[in-house]
Structure 1
Amino acid sequence: MSSTIEAFLKPHQHDIGNLIVRRVLPSAAVRTVGPFIFFDHIGPATLMPGVGIDVRPHPHIGLATVTYLFEGAIMHRDSIGSVQKITAGDVNWMTAGRGIVHSERTPDEERATGQKMHGIQTWVGLPTKDEEVAPSFEHHAAATLPQIDRDGVKLRVIAGSAFGQTAPTVTFSPTLYVAAEFSADSAVTLDTEHEERGVYLLEGDLSVDGSVLPEGQMAVLKTGFPVDLRSTNGAIAMVLGGAPLDGHRFLEWNFVSSSREKIEAAKIAWSEQRIGHVPGETEFIPLPPPRP
C-alpha cells in the first residue's frame, strides 16, 4: 500500500430486488470522509420494461442527500413540494435539516421502456449549527456543473470545490465531490486543498500513487499529500471529502444528528406522521422495529 493511503474500504453488498447496492460508508475502519457519512454505489443494472425503483416516502433529519447518476433516471418528490426528474450527469441535493420526507421512483416513461441504472447516492452530514435549518431542495443540470478536461481525464465538480472550480450546489462546509472519467493512459494529481479525501473506483483500472485500487473499493487518503491517480485502460471514479464534521454523529435508520435525543424525537415524530407528507402519495416506509 502506498504511504499516502490510510485505508482501503470494501463495500457491504445488498440486493434490493431490482438492484445491487454496494455500501462503502460508514465502515468499521473509517466512519466518515470529510462530511460524507453514507456512500452507496447503485447498480449497474438493467431494468426491464415494466420494472422500476419504488422507494416509498421516508424521512431524514440532520443531513443532505446527494444523488448523481451515470445512467438512468429517477423521479424525486418531497414534502416541501419539489418534483424533479434527475438524469445522468445532473445532481440532486436535498437538505433535510430539521426534517423532510421524500420518495424516489422510476419515471413513468422509463418504467414503460426499461432503462439501465448506475449511480451514486451519498449522505452529507451538516455542521451542528445547521442541523436545524429549514429543509430545501436544489437540482443542477449537467450543463451547469463545472467540467475540467485535464490530460485525458474529464472531471465534473458535483459539489464544493476542486481543480480550481466551484460547483453551484450549496454546501454547508468545505466539500470535495467530483466524478472523474479517465481515458486510456491518463492521469491527474489530486491536490491538498481538502483535509480529508477518498477515491472510489466504480469501474476500470486505477492506481493511487502506484497502488492498485480494486474495483468497487474506496481508498481513504492521508492528509497533506498530493496524490497521483492513474489509469491504463480507462476508469470511472468518484473523488470525495472535505472538512471533517465538527464532532460525533449518531446514525439510526434515516436519521443523523449530533444529539441522540433529536434522533429519538424524530423517531416518535415519524411514527406519528408529523414530519411531513409527499403531496399525491399515500404510501410510506414505517419506522423499523427496535433492534433486539
Structure 2
Amino acid sequence: MTQNTVKRAGKSHFVNMGPIRLRQPFPTQHIEMIDPFILLHHYGPYDISEANNPFDLGPHPHRGFEPVTFLVQGEQLHRDSLGHESVVKAGDVQWTTAGRGIIHAEGPTKDLVRKGGTIEGIQLWVNLPSDKKMIPAKYQHAKSEEFNETISEDKKVTTKIIAGAHEGFYGKFATQTSVNAFMIQAKAGGKDIIHFDKSHQGMLYLLKGTASINASETLELDKNQLLEFNQDGNGFSIEAKTDSTLLFLSGEPINETVATYGPYVMNTQTELLEAMRDYQMGKMGFLPVN
C-alpha cells in the first residue's frame, strides 16, 4: 500500500445555529469544502428532555445535494414531503437525495423527549453534479444491523460500510456519484488499514477517542479532529490510542462551480433564486408541522 499523505489537519470548532451549538469541521475559513462534500456538522451529545429539546428541526426544504444523517446516539423521527415517516435509531443512517426539491423535518422522537436521553449525530452534505441537481427526490434509510462490516486481523477494529466498497464488501446505499462512507469503531490498541481509490478526495473525522494515522498524525478531540488526504496513495493506517470512533469519507471530485444559500446547493446564483421561488410556490411539496 502507498499511504496517502495528509494535506491538512483541522480542529472542529463549535458554531451556533439558532438554539443549537454544534461542531463544524467544514466549511471554515481554511477549508471551504472537500469536493464532493459541502458541509459536515457534528451535533450533540445533547441531553434531551421535556424541559430541554434544542434539536427539533421543523419542516425545511433542500435542493441540489444529498443530506445524510449518521445517528450516533438516541433516536430521531424523520418526516418528508414524499410521505416517508421513520424512526432513525443509534447506528442507523438516512440518505436523502434532495434533487429538485424535498421538504423534511427531523428531531428527537416524542418518546425520547418524554423519557429523557441523549442524542448525537453527524449531518453530511454531498454535492450533486449539475446534470443530477434536478432529478426526483429520494429517501433511503438503513438500520445499524443491515450494514456490512469488516474486522481487522487483531479483531479490535470494525469498519461499517455505509456507502461504497471496502475489502470486497459493499455499502447499503445507492449513491448518485462515486462515494465511500465508513464508520470505524476501534478499541484501544487496535490497528487496521483503510483502502480507497486514488481518484477520490479522502478525509477522516474523529468523533471520539484518540488515534494515530499513518504512525505520524494524531487525531484527538479538541485538537485535530479532521484530516484531509492528498490524492497520492491508496489508503492509510489507523492505530487507536484509546477506544475511538471515526468517520471516513471519500469521493470523486465533481469539479464544478458551487453556489449555496441556506438549504440549497446549486451551480449559479440564478438557480438559487429559482429554488427559493419554487419552494415558495409549493413546487417542492408540503409537510405539515407535527
Q: Specify if TM > 0.5.
A: yes
2:158 maps to 1:154: yes
Counterparts of 1:98 and 1:19 in 2: how far apart (Å)? 27
2:160 maps to 1:163: no
Counterparts of 1:281 and 1:130 in 2: how far apart (Å)? 29
Counterparts of 1:186 and 1:229 in 2: how far apart (Å)? 8
CA contact (8 A) 1:201 1:215 kept: yes
Counterparts of 1:162 and 1:19 in 2: how far apart (Å)? 35
Q: Which residue of 2 aligns with 1:221?
A: 229
Q: Which residue of 2 aligns with 1:101?
A: 103
Counterparts of 1:192 and 1:208 in 2: how far apart (Å)? 15
What SS does the aligned partner of 1:220 have? strand
1:238 shift after superposition: 0.6
Q: Which residue of 2 aligns with 1:111?
A: 113
Q: Which residue of 2 aligns with 1:26?
A: 27
Counterparts of 1:28 and 1:18 in 2: how far apart (Å)? 23
What SS does the aligned partner of 1:223 have? coil
- Taking the TM superposition and a 5 Å limit, the aligned residue runs for 1:94-243 are 94-150=96-152, 151=154, 152-194=156-198, 195-209=200-214, 210-215=216-221, 217-225=225-233, 226-243=235-252
| Identity percentage of aligned residues | 25
What SS does the aligned partner of 1:43 have? strand
CA contact (8 A) 1:192 1:224 kept: no
What SS does the aligned partner of 1:29 have? coil
Q: Structure 1 stretch 92-101 or stretch 221-230: which is displaced more?
A: 221-230
What SS does the aligned partner of 1:185 have? coil
Counterparts of 2:261 and 2:275 in 1: how far apart (Å)? 10
Q: Structure 1 stretch 78-87 or stretch 31-40: which is displaced more?
A: 31-40
Q: Which runs of 5+ in 2 are unaligned?
A: none
1:268 shift after superposition: 2.3
CA contact (8 A) 1:9 1:218 kept: yes
Counterparts of 2:25 and 2:157 in 1: how far apart (Å)? 24
1:120 shift after superposition: 0.6
Counterparts of 1:55 and 1:49 in 2: how far apart (Å)? 16
CA contact (8 A) 2:108 2:119 kept: no
Distance change (3 Å), C-alpha of 1:232 and 1:18: same
Counterparts of 1:37 and 1:162 in 2: how far apart (Å)? 23
1:173-219 CA distance string (max 9 Å, x none):
11111111110101111224252110111111111122112325210
Counterparts of 1:75 and 1:170 in 2: how far apart (Å)? 22
CA RMSD between the two structures:
2.0
Q: Which residue of 2 aligns with 1:76?
A: 78
1:118 shift after superposition: 1.4
Distance change (3 Å), C-alpha of 1:188 and 1:70: same
What SS does the aligned partner of 1:109 have? helix
2:68 maps to 1:60: no
Amino acid in the other structure paired with 1:211: E
Q: Which runs of 5+ in 1 are unaligned?
A: 283-292
What SS does the aligned partner of 1:189 have? strand
CA contact (8 A) 2:209 2:221 kept: yes
Which of these residues, 268, 277, 282, is aligned with residue 259 of structure 1? 268
